[in-house]
Amino acid sequence: QVQLVESGGGLVQAGASLRLSCAASGRTFSNYNMAWFRQAPGKEREFVAAIRWSGGITQYAASVKGRFTISRENAEGTVYLQMNSLKPEDTAVYYCAADPTWTFTAASIDYWGQGTQVTVSS
């Protein structure tokens, strides 16, 4: 069993930075590939970034590549999302997810966090 708790969201102006954290409880955290998703009002949840259980491989959505960085500290049971050069279109609820596979679909994800709100004003 893994429980995920996100933090670090807030209200910022365009161009600012935020770092989201996802704290995981449970002994099997290091076995999971981890990802960040986001959901804006009236839109479907979308993939943002993912990182392998070992931390050696990452993947990003085209809309955030070059601005966002995902990382993890297995010893601390935490995954991070560093968000730079934020834009109003980045406004959404951000969720972390744990997946034993590298597919990150609704069927493959085992655990979701409760989400943290990020609002970027223009």
pLDDT tens readout for residues 36-76: 999 999 999 999 999 999 888 999 999 999 999 999 999 99
Confidence check: pLDDT of 86 > 90: yes
- In the DSSP assignment, the letter for residue 89 is G
In whole angstroms, what is the distance from residue 89 CA to residue 61 CA? Answer: 14
Residue of 65, 99, 108 lying closest to 79 (CA atoms): 99
pLDDT (0 to 100) of residue 116: 98
Mean pLDDT of 88-100: 97
User: Is residue 36 a contact partner of residue 98, using CB atoms and an 8 Å limit?
Assistant: no
Please state, in angstroms and as integers, the Cα–Cα distance from residue 59 to each residue in 8, 49, 89, 104, 122, following that order: 21, 5, 20, 11, 27
Confidence check: pLDDT of 26 > 90: no
Mean pLDDT of 8-33: 93
Give the model's confidence band at 4: pLDDT under 50 very low, under 70 low, under 90 confident, else very high. very high
Confidence check: pLDDT of 14 > 90: yes
10 Å Cβ neighbour count for 112? 15
Q: Supply 5's token pair.
A: 């708790």
User: Is residue 61 a contact partner of residue 53, using CB atoms and an 8 Å limit?
Assistant: no
